[in-house]
Structure 1
């Protein structure tokens, strides 16, 4: 579920010393769990939904619902980021995130770099279309695009006839493209391209026809390669564009062969990208896990070893010649440092 269907925030962006980012905002603690997640989107086809592998940081709100992300781990060049909140239970949260969905969640997409300070002065449940003041106007590009998409939805719903759909398809397809180009930000154009070229969307057939004789797509590739050389965005778009061009240039005689080739190519590209994303995520998780282990005291490590071999608190106390209450204190400290809530989660963490 997208933030934009329900909320729009005013974003204030400025510079922050020592190349640090600072993202602040507010949520309703009575409506949401008090955890806010920050994700980086490397694959622009995964803008929708929630993916645990994209999360780079998590913070907890204070008693009044205010949260803040501060650090220097972001890339210096602009990338697509997401903030999200959800009400997934701790039991199924991880699996839901990994599968890309959570039935009760909201998120907001934005563009940022390592030196940006971004303030969400209104609650995530605030009204839409507030004014945006920004030293980095590209940060709120996705929000502006979603505002335009809301206008488009109204135009399509005014008359639900085939004739109205055909007229609006042509009008809004061109209007969205032109709007994205005028924003002078290729990542914003990618957001529009993802929407217009989505295979499940009514615009897809129009997109394939437009691709035959419109130089816009090659020009967008040039802008991406110029502004974001060697980025995953440019490489992914180039692969998709090559595949889609192959589709539209195929003849009826070789149509089946072309589709097979296209599917193989897309599968290979998707596999390589997924392997790269998975490898990067595994490295981040391994480093985070190692850092957490290093935080354990010697006695906590002894307790951890005994926990992993299914010893009870009483058995651990007898083995280490300490009281059961002391063992419980060590167990709670281990859970907190390793960010788990049960022995099953602890064993699952080390099995992985």
Structure 2
């Protein structure tokens, strides 16, 4: 009762001052005390760790409490993410390349500029399991993730191709219907991004469904009416129109033209992949150059030998140094690179 009254009071205070407050607790013994708040404007990057999406950073105190507050968010509902990880400041950029991080925990939610949101610790100090918010739409993604867990359990009951096909058909419809029942277009977008993902087993059902199901046009109307200025709306319209165009192109052209289209897409994909690889290589070279600049010239020479898997004795012999001097250089290298072993040092520089 007290918690409910407190949330109501905070809610009205937030409306009066047009400010948001997102707070909660983390287990500082398990996680770094840095907590990040991101706004998700591209629903194809709805899950992951993307530095360009981060709009705030908070530090948990000794009790694990953290808070984001201010008045800079959109007045309309948007998709936000709070995440924590176990990476040090030096390792973070490397480990978060391409938005992937195995040592992170995230929570997606819907909020706006005057929402009060609290993320308490659950049983056993579990983090990001419960949402208390003045916004009734806040926990829509949590509900969907819970349904997806049920789906994964159903797939695992019996592993066979036949069982997988039956579950694909069932869960495609189940997820789509569940999104409509939530009465929140942003929640439907979350499900749409999942079932239309080309890497998903459900993608084939999406392609067939798009041919005749008016659901997708109706979702476009719901988005335009509810979020006319949101980037998600423009992104969704562009994707649906592109997919429909591709379907029409494939159905109207003969096999000769069809093959040329495939080759064109393949060629474009190769060019894009080459471009992405070149960007990744350039980024990695910049990072490794920055790391090397932290070392003295002698330490850089010792590092080159370490990367070639030479022992301290071999390095000492090659550089006409004592083994103890080599050990001193090695310890300095570890300290400056923020690593604990040769393997960690090699992971920063080797391909």
The interval holding the TM-score normalised by the smaller chain is 0.5 to 0.7
Determine helix, strand or coil for the equivalent of 1:99. helix
Within 5 Å, give how 1:47-196 maps onto structure 2: 47-97=46-96, 99-122=98-121, 126=126, 134-196=133-195
Determine helix, strand or coil for the equivalent of 1:92. helix
User: For 1:319-341, what per-residue CA distance to the aligned partner results, in whole angstroms no more than 9, with x for missing partners?
Assistant: xxxxxxxxxxxxxxxxxxxxxxx
Question: What residue in structure 1 maps to residue 258 of structure 2?
Answer: 255
Question: What residue in structure 2 maps to residue 202 of structure 1?
Answer: 201
Gapped runs of 5+ residues in structure 1?
Answer: 1-11, 268-341, 343-352
**Separation in 2, partners of 1:117, 1:128:** 16
User: For residues 266 and 226 of structure 1, do their structure 2 counterparts lie closer, same or farther at Cα, with a shift above 3 Å needed?
Assistant: farther
**Separation in 2, partners of 1:264, 1:185:** 39
Deviation for aligned residue 1:127? 8.2
Q: 1:22, 1:71 within 8 Å by CA — same for their partners in 2?
A: yes
Deviation for aligned residue 1:73? 0.9
Deviation for aligned residue 1:262? 6.8
Q: 2:44, 2:193 within 8 Å by CA — same for their partners in 1?
A: yes
**Separation in 2, partners of 1:209, 1:108:** 32
Deviation for aligned residue 1:49? 1.4
Question: What residue in structure 1 maps to residue 221 of structure 2?
Answer: 222
Count of aligned pairs between the two proteins: 263
**Separation in 1, partners of 2:60, 2:152:** 34
User: For 1:10-47, what per-residue CA distance to the aligned partner results, in whole angstroms no more than 9, with x for missing partners?
Assistant: xx683413110001111111101110000000000001
Deviation for aligned residue 1:192? 0.2
**Separation in 2, partners of 1:165, 1:95:** 36
User: For 1:26-84, what per-residue CA distance to the aligned partner results, in whole angstroms no more than 9, with x for missing partners?
Assistant: 11111011100000000000012101110000000111111111111111011000000
**Separation in 2, partners of 1:97, 1:157:** 30
Deviation for aligned residue 1:118? 0.1
**Separation in 2, partners of 1:260, 1:222:** 35
Q: 1:221, 1:238 within 8 Å by CA — same for their partners in 2?
A: yes
**Separation in 2, partners of 1:232, 1:258:** 30
**Separation in 1, partners of 2:207, 2:65:** 45
User: For residues 99 and 170 of structure 1, do their structure 2 counterparts lie closer, same or farther at Cα, with a shift above 3 Å needed?
Assistant: closer
User: For residues 125 and 244 of structure 1, do their structure 2 counterparts lie closer, same or farther at Cα, with a shift above 3 Å needed?
Assistant: farther
Q: 2:115, 2:134 within 8 Å by CA — same for their partners in 1?
A: no
Q: 1:247, 1:259 within 8 Å by CA — same for their partners in 2?
A: no
Deviation for aligned residue 1:115? 0.4
Deviation for aligned residue 1:94? 2.9
Deviation for aligned residue 1:175? 0.8
**Separation in 2, partners of 1:133, 1:34:** 21
More relative contact order, 1 or 2 (CA 8 Å, 6+ apart): 1
Determine helix, strand or coil for the equivalent of 1:122. coil
User: For residues 239 and 105 of structure 1, do their structure 2 counterparts lie closer, same or farther at Cα, with a shift above 3 Å needed?
Assistant: same
Determine helix, strand or coil for the equivalent of 2:90. coil
- What is the TM-score normalised by the length of structure 2? 0.68
**Separation in 1, partners of 2:88, 2:129:** 32
**Separation in 2, partners of 1:50, 1:84:** 8
User: For residues 214 and 242 of structure 1, do their structure 2 counterparts lie closer, same or farther at Cα, with a shift above 3 Å needed?
Assistant: same
Question: What residue in structure 1 maps to residue 323 of structure 2?
Answer: none
- What is the TM-score normalised by the length of structure 1? 0.68
Gapped runs of 5+ residues in structure 2?
Answer: 1-6, 271-335, 337-351
Question: What residue in structure 1 maps to residue 333 of structure 2?
Answer: none
Deviation for aligned residue 1:247? 2.4
Higher helix content, 1 or 2: 2
